[in-house]
Structure 1
Amino acid sequence: MDTTVWIVVAVVAVLLVLAVVAYAGRNRRNKQLHGQAEQIREEVHTETVKVQRREALAEETAAKARAAQAEAEAKAAEAKRLAERADVHRDAVVTSREDLEERRAHADSIDPRVKQSDPAPHETNAR
């Protein structure tokens, strides 16, 4: 064989070795990248579960807040209703006291035993 043939064979052999080395390197790199991708996927899955739990907690807390708000509104309405009822009772008390005072004054005015200059005898009896 001629030197040129040996050179061509050597170049082809070197190219084949380089191709095999490049192929092996690429395969190793691809396996490494695949491993990293799988690790990232596992981390994403774990974080997704945490986020879903956090979302469920947020929804539960929001529901509790809505319930508390509704309860507060109901309590406020009840308080308003009771305050209005108390006002009605107070008005009735004032009216009743005025009526009673008028009736006492009338009784005093028609009673011959009560002097008109006496202080109100009902005040001493009431105490």
Structure 2
Amino acid sequence: MATSTIIVIVVVAVVAVLIAAALTWVAVNKRKERRRAEAHDIRDRAAQQAHKVGRREALADETAAKARAAAAEADVKSAQAAGLQQQAAAHRSEAGTSRDELNQEFERADRIDPDSRTPETPPKDRETQ
């Protein structure tokens, strides 16, 4: 084999290796670029969803605050109701005591009144007989 043939074979082999390396480098760069674009799209979609999720979280926080306020209001109303029930029981007790005193006064008046017809006093007709 002649030296020129060997040189041509070596040059062709080196060129082939360089072409293969260049093709590999291009393929790797295209793959990286494609992956970068896909990652960018995913980040964009996630950013849009993050906005929606933020609104949902804010709505949830607002609803929870309303629930706490309603619960506090219900506790206040419950305490007011308990206080009113105690007042009603006190008034009922006082009214019962007053009713007993009033009935005693009526009974006393009936005992004193000669015109009153009670089982303790005889009727008027009997007194005159």
2:123 corresponding residue in structure 1: none
CA distance in 2, matches of 1:89, 1:104: 22
Q: In the alignment, which residue of structure 2 is the partner of 1:125?
A: none
Matched, 1:74 2:101: no
Which residue of structure 1 aligns with residue 34 of structure 2? 32
**TM superposition shift of 1:111:** 1.3
> What's the TM-score, normalizing by structure 1?
0.87
2:89 matched residue in structure 1: 87
Q: Aligned with 1:2: secondary structure? A: helix
Residue in 1 aligned with 2:103?
Answer: 101
Could you report, residue by residue, the CA deviation over 1:72-93 in whole angstroms, capped at 9, with x for unpaired residues? Answer: 0000011011111111111111
Find the aligned partners of 1:61 and 1:112 in 2 and give their Cα distance: 75
Among the aligned pairs, what percent are the same residue? 41
Q: What runs of 5+ residues in structure 2 fail to find an aligned partner? A: 121-129
Q: With structure 2 as the length reference, what TM-score do the two structures score? A: 0.86
Aligned to 2:53: 51
Higher relative contact order (CA 8 A, sep 6+): 1
Residue 114 (structure 1) shift: 2.1
Structure 2 counterpart of 1:94, one-letter code: G
AA at the equivalent of 2:5: T
5+ residue gaps, structure 1, are 119-127
